[in-house]
Amino acid sequence: MTKDNEYNITILGLGNILLGDEGFGVHFIRWFGERYRFSDDVRVLDGGTLGFGLLDIVTSTKHLIVIDIIRVDDDPGSLYRFSQEEMEINMPEPTSAHEVEFADVLIQAELMDQYSEVVFICIAPKEYGGDMDLEMAPLMKEKFPDTEKLLLNELSRLNITPLRV
């Protein structure tokens, strides 16, 4: 586990908002962050596509909850919850362009002996790749409440009850 972390929990949205559905994690985090308030030891962050720029964030928290898309052969909008171990064991490589870079960040944190408990909440995108588009498919936005429920369940498991605003 991590040593002397500044934060107990970090909720991190990943994705590229310039590529439609691939920006799900970032769009969701922004939406979620407007709906809830937390104590000072919980932070909600837009990680975008920062890659190794996320290393300080990853190494300064005990519990990391990552929101992102995942490329799987399933219906668009299907939601998943994985521990880091489940993600490593059960998912084919690479599972998304974001996770390839993010996996490197997690490996680096582990090498530094400053890794966190990591949980992934992922969604199968309707569209992956393609042209630049600032808008996600309507289906993806419709999945915000279901994603919110999964995230709130995860926070409850960690004895965190956010204040609804």
pLDDT, tens digit (0-9, with 9 covering 90-100), for 11-42? 999 999 898 899 999 999 999 999 999 999 99
Could you give the 3-state DSSP secondary structure of residue 33?
Answer: helix
Q: Is the pLDDT at 106 greater than 80, yes or no?
A: no
Report which of 2, 57, 35, 69 is spatially closest to residue 148, judged by C-alpha positions. 35
Q: Is the pLDDT at 148 greater than 50, yes or no?
A: yes
Could you give the 3-state DSSP secondary structure of residue 73?
Answer: coil
pTM of the model: 0.85
Dist CA 89 CA 107 (whole Å) = 15
Report which of 154, 140, 138 is spatially closest to residue 78, judged by C-alpha positions. 140
Give the chain's domains with CATH numbers: 7-156 (3.40.50.1450)
Give the Cα-Cα-Cα angle 22, 45, 130 (nearest 5 degrees).
Answer: 10
Is residue 123 very low, low, confident or very high in pLDDT (cuts 50, 70, 90)?
A: very high
- Quote the pLDDT of residue 100: 45
